[in-house]
Amino acid sequence: MRLSCLQENLSKGLAIVGRAAASRSTLPITSNVLVATDEGRLKLSATNLEIAVSCWIGAKIEEEGATTVPAKLLTEFIGSLPNDKIEMALSAKKILTMKCARFEARMTGVDARDFPPIPRVENGVAVKVDVAEFKKGVARVVFAAATDESRPVLTGIDALFEGSVLTLAAADGFRLAVYKMPLAEAASQKVKAIIPAKTLSEVSRLLSDGDESIGITVDTQKSQILFKLKNVELVSQLLQGAFPQYSQIIPQSHTTRAVVETPAFLMAARTAQIFARDGGGIVRLIMTPGGGKTPGRLSITARSEEIGEDQAELDAAVSGEEAKIAFNGKYLLDVLGVISEGQVALEVTGPSSPGVIRPVGTDNYVHVVMPMFVQW
């Protein structure tokens, strides 16, 4: 193998695939990155056997070939070089030599044939999604997935591809987030898959402003999913199991609804969380309807026996009767943080029933939070 490419391009490519390389593994070669020529370009690939990322960069290929070298070592070395042309050559003894300006390094490679094959997802249901919509949708659900591996299915995002709509849902037993987004290219048939939350976070990280749409292919036979960008491909294993029937969890009615400005609610929740951290994480909400010219209000309080207490009052359009409910402060912050702007509606039916949070003016996102039981 003999080729040359720009340091900037190689460094970017390694940053893209490097996170997929295994840091600790019973299979040492998975901590390597595959460096190979591929139809006039340089292909970089890494895998931890759960996800595999491949990236193609422009290069001048003089001689075809492939090898694998430690991902961390190569990434750190290339990142420390000046922004200049890099020449790479692989000897018959599997030594990879790299020259850039007045720098030169040699790395001992491992035969590319020993590298785990990167899965090819060619069959299955293929769709396309607008990049901005996809990033927004992932941001609004991924934080609600479980991090505890005791129920592996809840560490994933339930994805339903049906017609021209993709529905993403995440739940961890204490909260549920559901987001619906339009597909730029409709699904040929209905398909359901549970995608690891880590996979969707990684795909979202890889998306750049230059990408307009992302291609997704779901192969339920192989239990794999492919995300395809302009010069990057990510293949992930799907999670096995049955995701909870979450539609039954979403309350269909409410007795009280309060509409408030999201930034003000978020600010009040942040200050309450400072005190809630030492008070079991409890943030209490009281919704009081207005009367005559008096506006309704939403009261947010938190207290710790040792530190003190905090209270904030917000103007709110409250319909229905006065209501009280308590949430885990972190859960409240998480959902308000991803909505962040406009107005938000809080719907409750009582202190022991789930609360529902929705952005006002759109019906494609709903967030359900289980209440905390407190002494009022």
pLDDT class for 288, splitting at 50, 70, 90?
very high
Q: For residue 66, which phi and psi values (nearest 5 degrees)?
A: -155, 150
Q: Which residue has the tokens 């739940």?
A: 171
Buried b (16+ CB within 10 A) or exposed e, 261-298: bbebbbebbeebbebbeebebbbbbbbbbeeeeeebbb
The pLDDT of residue 36: 96
**In the structure encoding, which two tokens stand for residue 291, read together?**
């009367």
- What's the mean per-residue pLDDT of the chain? 94
According to CATH, the topology of domain 125-247 is DNA Polymerase III; Chain A, domain 2 (3.10.150)
Average pLDDT over residues 133-142: 96
pLDDT tens-digit map of 46-79: 999 999 999 999 999 999 999 999 999 999 999 9
For the stretch 316-347, pLDDT in tens is 999 999 999 999 999 999 999 999 889 999 99
Dist CA 335 CA 346 (whole Å): 12
CA dihedral 128, 200, 18, 30 (to 10 degrees): -100
Q: Whose structure tokens read 């996800």?
A: 51
Task: Evaluate whether 5 touches 85 at the Cβ level (below 8 Å).
Answer: yes
Report pLDDT for 177. Answer: 98
The model's pLDDT over 163-175, given as tens digits with 9 standing for 90+, comes to 999 999 999 999 9
**Ranges for all domains in the chain classified under CATH 3.10.150.10:** 2-114, 125-247, 251-369
pLDDT band at 291; cut points 50, 70, 90: confident
Q: Which CATH superfamily is domain 251-369 in?
A: DNA Polymerase III, subunit A, domain 2 (3.10.150.10)
Distances (CA, A) of 15 to 53, 85, 174: 11, 18, 35
Q: What pLDDT is recorded for position 251?
A: 94
With a threshold of 0.85, does the pTM exceed it?
yes
Asked: is 2-114 a CATH 3.10.150.10 domain? The reply is yes
CA distance 190 to 244: 18
What pLDDT digit, counting tens, does each position of 216-235 carry? Answer: 999 989 999 999 998 999 99
List pLDDT tens digits, range 5-18. Answer: 999 999 999 999 99
State yes or no: pLDDT of 156 exceeds 80: yes
